[in-house]
Structure 1
Amino acid sequence: MLQANEIQQTFSHIQQTIGQAEQACNASADTPQDLKACISKMARDAKTAGDVIKSNDESRIIKCVDDLEDMGDEARRLSRSDSHISPQVESAVTKVHAELSALKHKLH
């Protein structure tokens, strides 16, 4: 498993990436409501997960990251199922998913 400080740094970066995705979704009139809701929920859950990350409780950290990565899967599926999504939103969602997936694999 990664060191606690590595997990915290990586997760802090992921929180920023989720925030950027949320901003991109809100800035684009073409973003479907279900995708906006998914990214907003991910942003809220990431804030809660930040406290779990600081707890250094390995099993809780893994569960939080797994749950967020599942939401990232859903966001990516939603973004790919709509041909009217802006390239900025598509890119932001893909980046969030990739970063969560990479952290998940490092934790398992």
Structure 2
Amino acid sequence: MLPEQEIRSRLSSLQLAVGHAAQALSAERHLPGELREYIQRLDHHSDRITEILALRDPRRIVKLVDDMELLGARARRVCASGLPLSGQMKSAVNHMYNELVEFKQRLH
């Protein structure tokens, strides 16, 4: 398991990345419902990060990151499907997904 300080730092970075994706979501007018749902669910999970950290339960942290990585992968697939999305939206989702993948690899 990663040192607690690194976990906190990575979770903080992850919260920022999810926040940017949620902001991009708000700016989009014609967004597929599927992508909207994935980002909203990621935002909800992101809100739980502080709660999960307080429990100091490594299994819950791993499960949270795994669940978020799965949702991030789905959001990324929607962005890559050729739909007319803004560069900001695509960039925010890709950045968020990359943060999730890197964190997940370091966690396991």
Bin the TM-score by the shorter chain: over 0.9
The residue type equivalent to 1:63 in the other structure is K
Cα distance in structure 1, aligned partners of 2:4 and 2:35: 31
> Match for 1:49: what amino acid?
I
Letter in 1 for 2:100: L
Give the drift of 1:85: 1.0
Q: Which structure 2 residues correspond to residues 8-87 of structure 1 after superposition, within 5 A?
A: 8-87=8-87
**1:83, distance to aligned residue in structure 2 (A):** 2.6
Return the offset for 1:64: 0.7
1:82 and 1:24 mapped to 2: Cα distance?
17
For residues 50 and 79 of structure 2, what CA distance do their matches in structure 1 show? 25
Which residue does the alignment assign to 1:106? 106
8 A contact 1:26–1:36 mirrored in 2: no
CA contact (8 A) 1:30 1:86 kept: no
Amino acid at match of 1:107: L
Q: CA deviation at 1:87?
A: 0.8
User: Taking structure 1 as the reference length, what is the TM-score of the superposition?
Assistant: 0.92
Q: Does the residue aligned with 1:95 lie in a helix, a strand or coil?
A: helix
Corresponding residue pairs, total = 108
Gaps of 5+ in 2: none
Q: Quick one: distance in 1 between partners of 2:91 and 2:85? A: 10
Deviations 1:50-80 (A, max 9, x none): 3112322111111111001111011101111
SS in 1 for 2:30: coil
Kept in 2, the 8 Å contact 1:65–1:100? The answer is yes
Normalised TM-score (structure 2): 0.92
SS in 1 for 2:48: helix
